[in-house]
């Protein structure tokens, strides 16, 4: 299969998703990451729409790339004016990118009812806008907005819009499922029909040229990836999408799924092996930059994509991973994970012990006894399948291999409330490290924040590397609400440093005690690996 051109629109279409925003500087950093993994085209934004995108394109002019071509996005000229007088087209030229993508209407409903112009004027807008950009020596992609809806409503007119773009000089026509409502079994026949008709038209032109087709799918029916793959099977040569599927409403086609499918399932060498291994890394980078929690169940790159919990499954993958995995996770930069819970068997414990370097049975705690203890603790409210940090420490304690980096002597947390001011929290803590005592105090936003700051301050005198560690998530779950304020709570704390992310858990009737358990485990885990 011939390589497929990869077109990323995370920085434009992706930012139309709820709560997703990037600064111009953040966009440049993402561009460099996309370039590094071998993406062919990176759409930077709409230079005529806002100052941020204008600034991005100014920065892009100073950015050297090895693989990607920066693309500016815009629309056809407005009705009733010539391209030379259209401010958006002028902004596209001023952005000075080698590639321009312009969107035009392919659905007669949108032309007449939404845009309020005539069908003939819309064709002129498409043809003239493309020609204007071609004359300014740009590679021009024409995005046929709402094409599939337009094709179903008025096939002849929808096709005329594509022909208008070709007559203007565009060699890349991108068919857009803008509303995301097209079903997969409709994609292939429509695209095959479009290819046939466009090839017949091109054959009549006085100058020989080839026209290629791309696909731009939205995920409103949960089919964006499937529709993109179906389109590729039907002969498109470009696929557009976003990292993590970010985008308006339900999002766009997810390139972190499409790329591995192409490379590993369809023998389409879009990226080389080293580039493909970076796909999980860029997924995490974009989610962190967007301040979005990574989706654990995201195919290929999610934390749970190659996770195993049931004892029978784990026993099988210990013999051969292919028993319950469709591919080697390392090919996409991911890794196999075995989870520990009350569903675990001895195989889970033995696998995890080997993975984290714990020797079993030296003190009578073999895998059978540890499974029994884990199930007892999960009955009490602990949950270790997502608390890898606490599980490692627990295993070390079970097998007498735990060497604490610090020991708590005592702490005190106080909360003050003034009627005119919100609550303020203060914490005092006393710890010992190798027999040396340290007492510190700190304030914080809430009691757990104060305790975290006090512990960090105390440990900082012994472990300067703590500056790289931060807490990124804090969750509290009431175990049995029927007991009211006396109910047991479970606290999860997710922490990260420059290289790793880990989670710890604490359980108690006292929320501060549960938080301390999770907090202490988090620091112990970090310091033990320093």
Report the pLDDT averaged over residues 355-371.
75
pLDDT tens for each residue of 336-361? 887 766 556 677 778 877 877 777 77
Other CB atoms closer than 10 Å to residue 106's CB: what's the count?
33
Asked if 224 contacts 210 with a C-beta cutoff of 8 angstroms, the reply is no
CA proximity to 465, closest of 473, 456, 454: 456
pLDDT tens for each residue of 218-276? 999 999 999 999 999 999 999 999 999 999 999 999 999 999 999 999 998 889 889 99
Asked if 335 contacts 328 with a C-beta cutoff of 8 angstroms, the reply is no
Looking at the domain assignment, is residue 296 inside a domain? no
Domain termination site, one of 260, 289, 318: 289
Query: Domain check: are 244 and 335 in the same one?
Result: no
Which pLDDT score, from 0 to 100, does residue 364 have? 67
Query: Domain check: are 35 and 78 in the same one?
Result: yes
Q: What pTM, to 2 d.p., does this model score?
A: 0.76
Question: Is 501 a residue whose pLDDT tops 60?
Answer: yes
- What does the alpha-carbon distance between residue 279 and residue 290 come to, in Å, rounded to a whole number? 17
Which pLDDT score, from 0 to 100, does residue 385 have? 75
Asked if 517 contacts 505 with a C-beta cutoff of 8 angstroms, the reply is yes
Question: Is 308 a residue whose pLDDT tops 80?
Answer: yes
Looking at the domain assignment, is residue 387 inside a domain? no
Total H helices, total E strands in the chain: 18, 16
Query: Domain check: are 365 and 264 in the same one?
Result: no
Query: Domain check: are 269 and 344 in the same one?
Result: no
Looking at the domain assignment, is residue 501 inside a domain? yes
Query: Domain check: are 132 and 204 in the same one?
Result: yes
Query: Domain check: are 108 and 152 in the same one?
Result: yes
- What does the alpha-carbon distance between residue 371 and residue 348 come to, in Å, rounded to a whole number? 9
Question: Is 168 a residue whose pLDDT tops 90?
Answer: yes
Query: Domain check: are 130 and 246 in the same one?
Result: yes
Looking at the domain assignment, is residue 401 inside a domain? no
Query: Domain check: are 19 and 133 in the same one?
Result: yes
Q: Which residue has the higher pLDDT, 385 or 109?
A: 109
Query: Domain check: are 64 and 161 in the same one?
Result: yes
- What does the alpha-carbon distance between residue 313 and residue 324 come to, in Å, rounded to a whole number? 7
Domains held by the chain: number: 3
What element of type H or E holds 476? strand 470-478
- What does the alpha-carbon distance between residue 525 and residue 406 come to, in Å, rounded to a whole number? 11
Looking at the domain assignment, is residue 298 inside a domain? no
C-beta contacts of 270-274 below 8 A and 24+ residues apart: 270/3, 270/4, 270/6, 270/38, 271/6, 271/37, 271/38, 272/38, 273/331
Looking at the domain assignment, is residue 402 inside a domain? no
Query: Domain check: are 239 and 154 in the same one?
Result: yes
CA proximity to 474, closest of 488, 491, 496, 457: 491
In a 3-state reduction of DSSP, which class is residue 209? coil
Which pLDDT score, from 0 to 100, does residue 398 have? 86
Q: Per residue in 399-426, is it b (16+ CB within 10 Å) or e — as a string?
A: beeeeebbeeeebebeeeeeeeeeeebb
Query: Domain check: are 246 and 372 in the same one?
Result: no
Query: Domain check: are 138 and 259 in the same one?
Result: yes
- What does the alpha-carbon distance between residue 173 and residue 145 come to, in Å, rounded to a whole number? 11
Q: What is the CA radius of gyration of the chain?
A: 28
The band of 484, judged by pLDDT with boundaries at 50, 70 and 90, is: low
Looking at the domain assignment, is residue 110 inside a domain? yes
Report the pLDDT averaged over residues 363-368.
72
Q: What is the DSSP letter of 117?
A: -
Q: Domain of 285? A: 5-289
């Amino acid at each position: 299969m011939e390589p497929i051109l990869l077109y990323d629109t995370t920085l434009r279409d992706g930012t139309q998703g709820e709560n997703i925003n990037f600064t111009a500087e953040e966009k440049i950093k993402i561009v460099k990451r996309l370039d590094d993994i071998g993406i062919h085209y990176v759409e930077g934004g709409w230079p005529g729409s806002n100052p941020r995108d204008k600034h991005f394109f100014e920065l892009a002019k100073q950015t050297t790339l090895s693989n990607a071509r920066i693309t500016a996005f815009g629309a056809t000229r407005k009705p009733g004016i010539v391209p030379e007088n259209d401010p958006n087209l002028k902004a596209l030229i001023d952005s000075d990118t080698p590639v321009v993508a312009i969107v035009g209407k392919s659905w007669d409903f949108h032309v007449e009812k939404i845009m309020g112009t005539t069908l003939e004027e819309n064709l002129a807008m498409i043809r003239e806008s493309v020609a204007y950009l071609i004359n300014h020596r740009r590679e021009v992609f024409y995005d046929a907005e709402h094409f599939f809806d337009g094709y179903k409503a008025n096939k002849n007119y929808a096709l005329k819009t594509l022909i208008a773009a070709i007559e203007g000089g565009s060699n890349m026509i991108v068919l857009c499922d803008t509303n995301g409502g097209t079903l997969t079994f409709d994609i292939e026949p429509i695209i095959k029909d479009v290819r046939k008709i466009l090839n017949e038209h091109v054959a009549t032109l006085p100058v020989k040229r080839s026209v290629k087709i791309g696909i731009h799918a939205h995920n409103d029916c949960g089919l964006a990836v499937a529709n993109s793959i179906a389109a590729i099977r039907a002969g498109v040569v470009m696929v557009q999408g976003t990292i993590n599927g970010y985008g308006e409403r339900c999002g766009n086609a997810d390139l972190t799924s499409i790329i591995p499918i192409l490379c590993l399932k369809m023998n389409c060498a879009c990226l080389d092996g080293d580039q493909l291994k970076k796909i999980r890394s860029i997924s995490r980078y974009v989610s962190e930059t967007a301040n979005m929690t990574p989706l654990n169940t995201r195919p290929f790159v999610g934390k749970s994509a190659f996770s195993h919990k049931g004892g029978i499954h784990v026993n099988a993958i210990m013999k051969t991973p292919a028993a319950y995995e469709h591919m080697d996770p390392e090919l996409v930069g991911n890794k196999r994970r075995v989870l520990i819970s009350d569903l675990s068997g001895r195989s889970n414990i033995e696998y995890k012990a080997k993975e984290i370097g714990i020797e079993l049975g030296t003190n009578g705690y073999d895998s059978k006894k540890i499974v029994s203890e884990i199930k007892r603790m999960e009955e009490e409210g602990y949950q270790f399948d997502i608390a890898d940090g606490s599980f490692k420490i627990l295993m070390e304690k079970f097998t007498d291999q735990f060497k604490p980096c610090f020991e708590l002597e005592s702490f005190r947390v106080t909360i003050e409330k003034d009627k005119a001011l919100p609550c303020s929290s203060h914490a005092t803590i006393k710890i010992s490290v190798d027999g040396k005592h340290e007492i510190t105090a700190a304030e914080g936003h809430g009691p757990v924040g104060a305790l975290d700051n006090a512990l960090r301050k105390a440990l900082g005198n012994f472990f300067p590397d703590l500056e790289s560690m931060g807490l990124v998530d804090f969750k509290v779950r009431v175990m049995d609400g029927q007991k009211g304020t006396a109910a047991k709570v479970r606290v999860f704390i997710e922490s990260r440093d420059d290289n790793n992310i880990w989670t710890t858990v604490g359980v108690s009737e006292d929320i501060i005690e549960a938080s301390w358990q999770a907090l202490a485990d988090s620091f112990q885990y970090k310091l033990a690996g320093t």
